[in-house]
Amino acid sequence: MSFAAHIITAYPDMFPGPLGESLQGRALADGLWRIAMHDLRDFGVGKHQNIDDTPAGGGPGMVLRADVAAAAVDHVTAQNPLPVILPSPRGVPFTQSLAQEWAKGDGLIFICNRFEGVDERFIAARQPLEVSLGDYVLGGGEIAAMVMLEAILRLVPGVMGKLESGADESFSPANDGLLEYPQYTRPQSFEGLDIPDVVTGGDHKKLAAWRRAQAEALTQNRRADLWADFLKRKK
């Protein structure tokens, strides 16, 4: 069974967007994953099929109605019992380990906010998992859903084809949660900078040790948080 991405949004034309390009676009065409769009407007209420309204108690912007969000999610989950993700700056941080976990599943349902957010009663009643990309505010959940999907899809078997590696890359367990070591390719000399001898020397043991030392140094210098986690795990 291929990985299914269900997207509930008021802007279905934003998809597949970048997910229709490059390796994940090829994989989409080849049926290794699929995308199903669900237009929030189809679940709108009243003559104008409204999906949002002004915030109770006042304040700027518009709030996605709980009844509309719930109707859309119920419609999709009835046929597709998959985890429901609500991209939101309030959510748990998105990480490589979440991507790995979700890549093993059958798919996900993303409900995308625009506006000031969604009525809290939708969250209380349907309990979607709120997930954040980081400590900044996007205009909506659509691009956040695309980012998460791109990270997930490259871990879905077959999507990367022969390039499938993933083992050594940044954050991966096989790399001990360290940042990835530096990469080089032709030419041998670029603006007076040469590829380090150890990289092209052919001594695989020496190269592995060098890459490991580079990964550790990069992580220690750039990411005190990851470095502290690494030291804790080593103990």
The residue ranges that bind ligand ADE (CB under 6 A) are 87-89, 132-134, 136-138, 141, 144
Nearest residue (CB) to ligand ADE, 133 versus 159:
133
Closest to ligand ADE by CB, 94 or 181: 94
Query: CB of residue 123 vs ligand ADE: minimum separation in angstroms?
Result: 14
Identity of the residue, 120 or 203, whose beta carbon is nearer to ligand ADE in the bound complex: 120
Looking at the Cβ atoms of 115 and 230, the one nearer to ligand ADE is 115
Q: Are 183 and 170 in contact (CB under 8 A)?
A: no
Q: Give whichever of 56 and 137 is closer to ligand ADE, judged by the CB atom.
A: 137
> Which C-beta is closer to ligand ADE: that of 40 or that of 218?
40
Peptide bond into 187 cis (omega under 30): yes
CB of 114 to ligand ADE, least distance (A): 9
Q: How, if at all, do strands 33-39 and 129-132 pair?
A: unpaired
Helix (H) or strand (E) holding 189, with range, is strand 189-190
Residue nearest to ligand ADE (CB): 87
Q: How far is the CB of 111 from ligand ADE (least distance, A)?
A: 11
Cβ at position 151, least distance to ligand ADE in Å: 13
Decide: 39 and 49 in contact? Cβ < 8 Å.
Answer: no
Q: How far is the CB of 148 from ligand ADE (least distance, A)?
A: 8
CB of 87 to ligand ADE, least distance (A): 3
Alpha-carbon distances of 66 from 39, 50, 130, 160, 192, rounded to whole Å: 15, 12, 15, 38, 61
Can you spell out the DSSP letters for 7-44?
EEES-GGG-SGGGGSHHHHHHHHTTSEEEEEEEGGGG-
CA distance 123 to 50: 19
213/194 Cα distance (integer angstroms): 19
Q: Which is it for strands 193-194 and 129-132: parallel, antiparallel or unpaired? A: unpaired
